[in-house]
Amino acid sequence: MSTSARRPLFVATILAGSFLLFLVQPMVARMALPRLGGAPNVWNSAMVVYQALLLAGYGYAHGLSKLAQRRQIVVHLALLALAALTLPIVLANLSPPASGWEVLWVPLLLLATVGPVFVIMSAQAPLMQRWYSAAPDAGEPWALYAASNIGSFAGLLAYPLLAEPLLSLHDQSLAWSLGYGLLFVLVALAARARWNAGPVATIEHGDEPQERIGARRVLLWLALSAVPSGLLLSTSTHLTTDIFAMPLLWVIPLGLYLLSFVFAFSDRRAIAHVISIMAPAAVIFAGSFAMVSTSAGTMAAALAALLLLFEVSVALHARLYDSRPGTSRLTFFYLVMSAGGAMGGAFTALVAPVVFDWVWEHPILILASAMLLPLPRELDWRRMGGLDRGMSWIALAVLLVIATFLTAQLMSLVSDQENELLQIFLLIALTGLGLLLLPWRWAYVLVLTGAMLAQGGVSTFKASLEGQRTRSYFGIYNVYDNQVERTRLLAHGTTLHGKQSLDLARRREATTYYGDTSGVGLALEAAPRLFGAGARIGVVGLGSGTLTCRHKPGQTWTVFEIDPAIVRYSRDGTFTFLQTCAPDAQIVLGDARLELEKVPRASLDVLAVDAFSSDAIPLHLLTDEAVGVYEQALAPDGLLLIHISNRFIDLEPVLSAIAAKRGLVAMIRRDTPKGDLTVASNWVVLARSEARLARLRAESGGRTWNALDPATGAAWTDDHASVLPYIRWGAIMGKL
């Protein structure tokens, strides 16, 4: 059989391996969710682990490729079989980390869970390309890498759309193991097709000279792969922190990143070339918003950030492809490319959270992209025939003067909502000037920097210099004063998480979601009558400490908070609720679910769960098992309150299903207050008896409690939960 006839076999093998590889990534992260939580950095840490394992796999493929063909086959099939002994995939049993050590513990957990099988599977794409190209008539193998990324993209989409909604984690793991068996068969067939490739060793090690690759070229490969990889993670963080905390948003940047390889490594170069021509304009227009930190909250801003990621990734990966070596150095090329990807991921996920107080890595990576973009001939107007060199320098000076003037004008209008059209016009004009300045790369980058500063970078720098922000492993918090309202606010991502009046007379007044007429406000005010003067109150999520001002003399309060940065706000006087209202409250640092498992049974009368990060849903706090933990900590007549205010996900049916499964009764308080310091909120209360809820209603001063919306699916469990059926698509599309 000819090599061309065998090409579909190698394509199928690469597609299957990549599909399984990107199916296992979210599956393992989902398995770990009850122990990790759902902060953006958890996913970023997971991505760094996967990139490191991918690097190890590419290193293995590069080393293996130095052996004779038959020895490669024997070794690889043997290691594939050994890795199968770790299946089905089960989360490693590691003790929870001490506070502050999550950044190291998360990678260790993932490494112990999926390390061996991930490494051996990561080698599939470069190794199968190497085996394919071993035959003398095989032709160029690079397009097979595009097939690899199609498989990766399909696996990435298949998880949230099919695997997670339809299968439990146990069933997912079993199905993945069956897929691994199919992959083994495909690899064996590919090996059989190359087993008798007798002349291969001579071609590889004798006739074809080894291409010399200098350090400068290797550094270029590293940069061209590191910047898109880092930009992938920084885009995810920037979107969820400052723009649009949409459910499943992490899927989209990664999917676009994978698709970029499909176009960049295609044999047909037209699409990649067109995108490379468009990329410089996209970098200035969309990249100008990279320093915005004012919670834009629009789909348009999110789409601009995603478009920028895709354009840059295609352009830089196309330049990477254009600088590729001969097939004799194929595995070395992929090894360097993987190392660059790991470097970019490590910078974003490990270095940036420690060094920066905000997502400064995002504009830094966009500026790096601007310096690395290819310069298409169509955009280099200096090549025009008859153009005097001196005239081009005069044109440069004039263009820079005009760009400076337009940047100053844009900066003066950026906070004026009534002149949005003029702002867009100025930004388009700056983009055009940037394209004209592209032949002088430093001038192009200068225009981009000016546009970033004009679009909000100055205020973002100012916030950092004034110490408004704190960045931890669990998020980026912004504390600032509103002098018009006379309030101090705590924002986490795009969501307000606390507000305190700066007027001394109102310093202890409960604000935002915790007002007097909120569900939690009514329940805690009724606690002395329901449970006596010595009521035992538990709170999951400290925030600004607002709820502690519901404390009554004689009560015992315990607050569970995972982030030490949040606790510092209440202890250093940034917010004074805790100090003035409940100074004797016990603060328990750590994941609330894990810490509540340690408290004595029936040791709380009321437990209020309010631990959401922005609009992201912490699945591990809303499963049947989680509610079981809460129920165990509550007294027989205790009340469980859960805050479910959310713009994009309807959580009422979720809690209805859990209540029905556990034999609990529930009702909801939908509060729309009129106070200047409070906002609308939805609080659900669960209890073991209807009589207890009736007593709470009677103690609520005539305030209305409603029945929950009925369940529309099975109760979420640690083994099976999906937000997909509960997304409010209208709310998301309404942000367009």
Residue by residue, what is the 3-state secondary structure of 107-158?
A: HHHHHHHHHHHHHHHHCHHHHHHHHHHCCCCCCCCCHHHHHHHHHHHHHHHH
Residue 620, φ and ψ in degrees, nearest 5: -70, -15
Q: Which whole-number Å values give the CA distances from 126 to 10, 132, 206, in the listed order?
A: 11, 10, 21
Residue 684 confidence (pLDDT) above 90: yes
Considering Cα of 86, then 89, then 94, then 99, what sign does the dihedral take?
positive
Q: What are the backbone dihedrals phi and psi of residue 388, each rounded to the nearest 5 degrees, phi first?
A: -70, 135
Neighbouring residues of 621: CB distance < 8 A, sequence distance ≥ 6: 540, 592, 593, 609, 611
Q: Which residues contact 179 (CB under 8 A, 6 or more apart)?
A: 16, 19, 20, 23
CB-based contact 207:281 (threshold 8 Å): no
Section 653-659 average pLDDT: 94
**pLDDT band at residue 207, thresholds of 50, 70 and 90?**
very low
Last residue of a domain, one of 208, 240, 264: 208
Q: For the chain, how many structural domains are there in total?
A: 2
Helices 69-83 and 102-122 cross at an angle (nearest 10°) of: 130
What is the predicted pLDDT for the residue at 615? 53
Q: Report pLDDT for 654.
A: 92
pLDDT value for 44: 65
* Phi–psi pair at 473, nearest 5 degrees: -60, -25
Q: Are 78 and 659 in contact (CB under 8 A)?
A: no
pLDDT value at residue 364: 95
Instruction: Tell me whether residue 424 is in a domain.
Output: no
More confident residue, 38 or 659: 659
Distance (Å, whole) CA 114 – CA 534: 48
> 262-271, 386-395, 714-723: which has the minimum mean pLDDT?
386-395
pLDDT at 646: 80
Average pLDDT over residues 592-607: 91
Out of 4-8, 121-125, 207-211, 713-717, give the one with best mean pLDDT. Answer: 713-717
CA distance 531 to 510: 22
Whether the ω angle into residue 88 lies within 30 degrees of 0, i.e. cis, is yes
Judged against a pLDDT cut of 80, whether residue 670 lies above it is answered with yes
Q: Read off the pTM.
A: 0.81
Quick one: pLDDT at residue 211?
67
Please say whether the beta carbons of 654 and 621 come within 8 A: no
With a pLDDT cut of 70, the percent of the chain lying above it is 87
Q: Which of 190, 208, 226 is the C-terminal boundary of a domain?
A: 208
Location of structure tokens 């960045």: 471
Q: Give, as one character, the DSSP assignment of residue 706.
A: B
Q: Is residue 274, in this structure, part of any structural domain at all?
A: no
pLDDT at residue 247 is higher than 50:
no
Q: Of 168, 186, 208, which residue sits at a domain end?
A: 208
Q: Evaluate whether residue 478 is within a structural domain.
A: no
Please name the amino acid found at residue 328.
S
* Concatenated DSSP letters of 359-392: STHHHHHHHHHHHHS---GGG-GGGSTT--HHHH
Q: How far apart are CA 677 and CA 512, in angstroms?
A: 6
Q: What is the pLDDT of residues 522-534, one digit of tens each?
A: 999 999 999 999 9
Is 254 within a domain? no
Instruction: Give the CA count within 13 Å in the CB-facing half-sphere of 591.
Output: 21
**Residue 226 reports pLDDT greater than 50:** yes
- Provide the residue range defining the domain that includes 676: 510-733
- 603: helix, coil or strand? coil
pLDDT of residue 304: 83
Query: Regarding predicted confidence, which is higher, 730 or 597?
Result: 597
Q: What is the pLDDT of residues 65-120, one digit of tens each?
A: 888 888 999 999 999 999 999 889 888 877 766 655 666 777 788 888 888 898 89
Q: What pLDDT digit, counting tens, does each position of 284-300 carry?
A: 999 888 888 765 555 66
d(CA 272, CA 685): 55
Is 90 exceeded by the pLDDT of residue 201? no
Exposed, middle or buried: residue 2 (CB in 10 Å: 0-12, 13-18, 19+)? exposed
- Residue 640 counted as domain residue: yes
Q: How far apart are the first and last CA of the chain?
A: 54
Does residue 374 lie in a domain region?
A: no
* 158 contacts 267 by C-beta, under 8 angstroms: no
Q: Which residue has the higher pLDDT, 49 or 226?
A: 226
- Half-sphere exposure at residue 242, Cβ-oriented, CA atoms within 13 angstroms: 21
Question: Tell me, what CATH number does 68's domain have?
Answer: 1.20.1250
- Tens-digit pLDDT profile for residues 434-450: 888 888 899 999 999 99
Render pLDDT for 538-595 as a digit per residue (tens, 0 to 9): 999 898 999 999 999 999 999 999 888 899 999 999 999 999 999 999 999 887 888 8
| Alpha carbons 420 and 176: distance in angstroms, whole number | 50
pLDDT above 90: percentage of residues in the chain = 38
Distance of CA 720 to the CA centre of its chain: 21
Burial class (CB in 10 A: 0-12, 13-18, 19+), 394: exposed
Closest CA to 618 of 641, 581, 644, 647: 644
Q: Helix and strand tally (H, E) in the chain? A: 28, 11
Query: Average pLDDT of the chain?
Result: 84
DSSP SS3 for 285: helix
Mean pLDDT score, 411-429: 79
Please determine, for residue 5, whether its predicted confidence score (pLDDT) is greater than 50.
no
pLDDT tens per residue across span 458-493 = 888 888 888 888 888 777 888 888 888 899 998 876
Domain of 684, CATH number, reads 3.40.50.150
Q: In this structure, is residue 222 part of a structural domain?
A: no
Containing 662, the helix (H) or strand (E) segment is helix 652-662
Supply the pLDDT for residue 471.
84
Interval 612-631 mean pLDDT = 78
| CB 375, CB 439: distance < 8 Å | yes
Looking at the domain assignment, is residue 337 inside a domain? no
Give the length of the chain. Answer: 736
